[in-house]
Amino acid sequence: MKTFPKGGVHPPENKISAAVPIEMLPIPETVIIHLSQHLGAPAQPVVEKGEQVKVGQLIAKSAGFVSAPIHSPVSGTIEKIESVPDTSGYKKPAIIIKVEGDEWIDTIDRSPDLIKETILSKEEIIARISEMGIVGLGGATFPSHVKMMIPTGKKAEILIINGVECEPYLTSDHRLMLERSEELLVGISLVMKALGVSRAVIGIERNKPDAIAQLTSLSGQYAGIRVEPLKVKYPQGGEKQLIKAITGREVPSGKLPVDVGAVVHNVGTIVAVYEAVMKNKPLFERVVTVTGKLLERPANYLVRIGTPIEFLVKAAGGMPEDTGKVINGGPMMGKALLSLAVPVSKGTSGIVLLSQSAARRKPVMNCIRCRRCSSVCPMGLEPYLLQALSEQARWDEVEANRVMDCIECGSCSFICPASRPLVDFIRTGKANVNRIIRERSK
Amino acid sequence: MSSTNQLTVAHSPHQFGDDSVQKIMYRVLFALVPAFAVSLVFFGLGALIVTGVAVVSCLAFEYLIARFIIKTKPTLWDGSAAVTGVLLAFNVPSNLPVWMIIIGSLVAIGIAKMSFGGLGKNPFNPALAGRVFLLVSFPAQMTSWPVVGTRMNYLDATTGATPLGIIKEGVQNGQPVSELLAEIPEYSQMLLGNMSGSLGEISALALLLGGLFLLWKKVITWHIPVSIIGTVLLFTGILWGINPEKYADPLFHLLPGGIMLGALFMATDMVTSPMTSVGQIIFGVGIGLITVLIRVFGAYPEGVSFAILIMNAFVPLINKYVKPKRFGEVVKHG
């Protein structure tokens, strides 16, 4: 059984909603569509206040190569375009739409039929992915078309599909693999064509045996696609860790996966690619896991982008009295929310509710130099040292000790018996080193 | 949504393991129980008094110094001062007077630990610092070990030389090792701890049992104990091969003295050992070499304490130059 060799932890899985089928969530009365839902330049609005829009209609265009267009997830009237808080808690420009009915643009093929063949060329597939606003749905929201255009001089050899879902609690990718298996496999074939690669491997941790079995049996009908069951270990879903686990290749420090011939996409992204290319459907809805031990009905919802998070929580049984923290994403890398009034964006993979007691950290003690942080670090770093150096603002040494390699997976903070704020200070270190590197290159 | 206002906002991760400093320290204490039990069987009352006094005085000094000198909240229940107390007791004879134990505890906690900033900040193993201070200050009392079986005696226990002392003195007087072996207990008896020695070091078997528990619970890793024991076996094996009548065999070097206690419980102290596996092996090899050098060529019959303290001093240097293998540093195409 393959896995990445160095470090890693085993947080309790808590996949409470794993057996709950994806359910379509009703459309709210108002949706909030932020213009920056992807990595890169924010999209530029192409609609005005008072304008009528339909589901799937372009409302903001891409603002550059590393950017993505945004399409209306609902039909209705543009109420206003103004800055409102997003999941970060900061106010960001957004288009707010008052929902009226559910009228889709007629270019979208809404039939449930599976389409396997396409006459589209490689370039046309990439263009479609770009036009339909597809971004990485695993959480990083990197515009997908950028990953499909291989820089000259480099060559993609293998497509890796990330079905690991190593974050505790989250189950949206697991459900997609089970319920949308064929679409996923066709989507993989499309991306293989776009990349010009003949091999694709779906990496799935063996805590999802049903998904492994189903995709293994179905993948026989698709040339070049196979499933690789992986040993359960966090953070296997980290891009570099997954490439290492599957191919044995190590992405060099500061380089990209394509430097070792690999391109990695999340399963949710690939299903969205299928819909974009074969059904002409822009990315305006996604699967979001809403879960937590206290929650009445943990679920996996198919949600229109822009739906307020409180709407999802209400559908899952309402916010329990003892809730102490609400996380956008998983508990290892997700961000704690200030308020539930913020909307679901393209990058929202799950909403996890923690109790008051689980929400608080234990008191910080002195470092006892047990070296667990460095033994679990999947990047081979020394978190205790980076923390101490960052705390003392010794940025040169922070940089020399490879702080920029940190993927912020949180394994070190998770394992620390002294409850030290390791990742917190490492983030400070990264931000400062990043600033110094920028100033240096000027 | 009344409780929305009470949401905790913090950076990820939001989920933590359930291990803690306390749990680690209490596991170490638990792992020391078999060796303590053996000590009670062989040294009786003395073992009980010395260990009790050492633990109580270490806790007391930690509390008093934190409260009145550093003026912080004392963290007595993290268990680290108790571990220091037990280890200090394990490293002294079971007939050591109470006032000496208290001085040793003051040096261990006050000078070696708290003066550097308390838990996690000390460069030297506190218990060993205390022990070595006592050894150089009160050499007579620190090198007169009760013979086993004097269970109801404490200060008035009959004393005798340790097997290491017998061999060392005999070899210095020109006696062949084969003759000297008749004067010391059989190896099987030494393994159980049936010999003179410091309070907690006598039974290799009991210490090994505790060490295996620590390995199983991942409190320690194999690197330090294996490299120390391996180095001692190899080095003494070479000497023995050269002249078996002048140098004792490798197994003899493992059973009596502080090798087992040192390799499993003292050198593995997290605070004072290197932060990488390779660093720990360098550290362990260094301890093994220095120990044998002192035992065979030095003035003292035993050298584990000195060896560990000397290597403690090298830990910052080892940490500076030995780094973990970084991900993506060596490019491999498979």
CA distances from residue B328 to A384, A386, A395 in whole angstroms, order as listed: 20, 18, 22
Q: Which two tokens stand for residue B131?
A: 């022990």
In a mutagenesis test of the B interface, which of A16, A244, A250, A430 is the best target, namely the one with the most B β-carbons within 10 Å?
A250
Looking at residue A168, its pLDDT comes to: 96
Q: CATH 3.40.50.11540 residue ranges in chain A?
A: 122-279
The answer to whether A288 and A349 are in contact (CB under 8 A) is: yes
Cα angle: B21, vertex B27, B30; to 5 degrees: 145
Looking at residue B2, its pLDDT comes to: 45
Looking at residue A193, its pLDDT comes to: 94
- By Cβ distance, the residue of A371, A419, A423 closest to B275 is A371
Please give the backbone phi and psi of residue A431, each rounded to the nearest 5 degrees, phi first: -60, -45
User: Over its length of 334 residues, how does chain B's per-residue pLDDT go in tens digits?
Assistant: 444 457 888 899 999 999 999 999 999 999 999 999 999 999 999 999 999 999 999 999 999 999 999 888 888 888 999 999 999 999 999 999 999 999 999 999 999 999 999 999 999 999 999 999 999 999 999 988 888 887 888 888 888 888 888 888 888 888 898 888 888 888 888 889 888 899 999 999 999 999 999 999 999 999 999 999 999 999 999 999 999 988 999 999 999 889 999 999 999 999 999 999 999 999 999 999 999 999 999 988 889 999 999 999 999 999 999 999 999 886 444 4
Contact A380 B75 (CB under 8 A): no
Kindly state the average pLDDT of the residues A60-81: 95
Looking at residue A105, its pLDDT comes to: 95
Contact A370 B9 (CB under 8 A): no
**Residue B227: which of B150, B313, B156, B286 has the closest Cα?**
B286
What does the alpha-carbon distance between residue A143 and residue A145 come to, in Å, rounded to a whole number? 6
Place of tokens 């992204």: A269
What does the alpha-carbon distance between residue B300 and residue B162 come to, in Å, rounded to a whole number? 12
Looking at residue A88, its pLDDT comes to: 87
Nearest CA-CA distance, residue A249 and chain B, Å: 5
Q: Is A34 helix (H, G, I), strand (E, B) or coil?
A: strand
Please report, rounded to a whole number, the percentage of residues in chain A having pLDDT higher than 90. 92
Nearest CA-CA distance, residue B320 and chain A, Å: 10
- By Cβ distance, the residue of B3, B16, B75 closest to A419 is B16
Contact B270 A332 (CB under 8 A): no
What is the ipTM for the molecules in this complex?
0.89
Sign of CA dihedral B33, B35, B38, B40: negative
The answer, yes or no, to whether residue A140 has pLDDT greater than 90, is no
Looking at residue B260, its pLDDT comes to: 95
Looking at residue B330, its pLDDT comes to: 61
Q: Is A327 helix (H, G, I), strand (E, B) or coil?
A: strand
**B304-321 and B126-137 helices, crossing angle to 10°:** 140
Q: What is the mean pLDDT of chain A?
A: 94
Q: Which two tokens stand for residue B204?
A: 């290799």
Residue B4 with chain A: CB contacts under 8 Å: 319, 339-340
Nearest CA-CA distance, residue B123 and chain A, Å: 11
Residue A249 with chain B: CB contacts under 8 Å: 332-334
Cα angle: A290, vertex A208, A195; to 5 degrees: 90
How far apart, in Å, do the first and last CA atoms of chain A sit?
A: 47
Task: Report the predicted TM-score, pTM, of the whole model to 2 decimal places.
Answer: 0.92
Residue B272 with chain A: CB contacts under 8 Å: 369
Least confidently predicted of A215-229, A238-252, B15-29, B135-149? B135-149
Task: Give bridge partners of residue A162 from the DSSP assignment.
Answer: A203, A266
Going across the sheet that includes A76-85, the strands are A30-34, A91-99, A76-85, A52-53
Residue A238 with chain B: CB contacts under 8 Å: none
- Nearest chain B residue to A415 by CA distance is B17
Q: Where are the domains of chain B?
A: 21-141, 160-321
What does the alpha-carbon distance between residue B54 and residue B106 come to, in Å, rounded to a whole number? 10
Sign of CA dihedral B126, B128, B129, B131: positive
Place of tokens 């997976």: A409
Kindly state the average pLDDT of the residues A121-131: 94
For chains A and B, what is the number of CB pairs under 8 angstroms? 178
**Residue B217: which of A373, A370, A315, A190 has the closest Cα?**
A370
CATH of domain A122-279: 3.40.50.11540
The answer, yes or no, to whether residue A1 has pLDDT greater than 90, is no
Looking at residue B334, its pLDDT comes to: 43
Query: Residue A259: pLDDT band by 50, 70, 90 thresholds?
Result: very high
- Kindly write down the DSSP assignment for every residue of A357-368, as one continuous string: HHHSPPPP----
The answer, yes or no, to whether residue A42 has pLDDT greater than 80, is yes
Contact A380 B325 (CB under 8 A): yes
- Nearest chain B residue to A411 by CA distance is B13
Looking at residue B5, its pLDDT comes to: 58
- By Cβ distance, the residue of A340, A374, A423 closest to B12 is A423
